[in-house]
Structure 1
């Protein structure tokens, strides 16, 4: 009688373990397209990602690099103080987007140009994404906000 209870308990634990592993694999598979890794311009130039890889890039918009093309196509460069990456974006830029300000873009790095599908700009005069601050601090160009 005791061995039957013990056997059932082992079966329940085994089924629960298999279910846990299976659910973890399914969640990971479902999220694989939703995970975008952050890279600074220096990292992008040091180890260029595959053209099919979607990732986020961030830094400061280089002064004098903002060029508006035909239609809604915009070209600019983003820097972390150590390297500069050219960016193209087709769409409407956020209202707070401007030169010498922090930005984060999501897209692909193709033929030496980051083709952004989404651009985010700072939301007030002191905000900058943590990843951008960390990348700028590594390059030694980050300035603490005053006040």
Structure 2
């Protein structure tokens, strides 16, 4: 009788371990497209990502580079003070999107151009995404917002 209990316990342990490994594998597989790494323009220039890699880029919209009204594609450059990356975007920009304002875009870096699929902009006068603030501080160009 004791041998049968020991055998059952071993089987349950093996099945439980296999189920946990399978669940972990399935969760990892499901999340592989949901994880987007943040990079500043300087990091993209220093180490360009693969064309198929989806990531987030952030910085300030460079003054004088925003081009609207040429078809449905919007073009601008994003900078962190150390480097500037050209960006293209098809779609509707957020209402508060403007030059010299913080932004984060999600997309791919193909042939030297960041092709954004999503653009996020600041939501009030004091907000800038933490990643953008950190990148601008690293470059030494971050300025504290007025009223802080």
Q: TM-score, normalised by structure 1?
A: 0.94
Flag structure 2 segments of 5+ consecutive residues without an equivalent.
none
Aligned residues: 147
Flag structure 1 segments of 5+ consecutive residues without an equivalent.
none
CA RMSD of aligned residues (A): 1.2
| 1:106–1:116 CA contact under 8 A, matched in 2 | yes
Task: Confirm or deny that 1:50 pairs with 2:50.
Answer: yes
CA distance in 2, matches of 1:142, 1:55: 23
- Deviation, 1:69, is 4.2
Match of 2:75 in 1: 75
- Deviation, 1:105, is 0.4
CA distance in 1, matches of 2:137, 2:82: 11
Match of 1:35 in 2: 35
Per-residue deviation, residues 54-102 of structure 1 (Å, max 9, x unmatched): 1110001111111124222111110111111011111111100001110
SS in structure 1 at match of 2:63: coil
Match of 2:4 in 1: 4
- Deviation, 1:44, is 0.6
Match of 1:17 in 2: 17
Q: TM-score, normalised by structure 2?
A: 0.93
CA distance in 2, matches of 1:129, 1:12: 48
| 1:69–1:75 CA contact under 8 A, matched in 2 | no
CA distance in 2, matches of 1:127, 1:104: 12
SS in structure 2 at match of 1:13: helix
CA distance in 2, matches of 1:51, 1:129: 25
CA distance in 2, matches of 1:119, 1:129: 12
- Deviation, 1:7, is 2.4
CA distance in 1, matches of 2:127, 2:50: 31
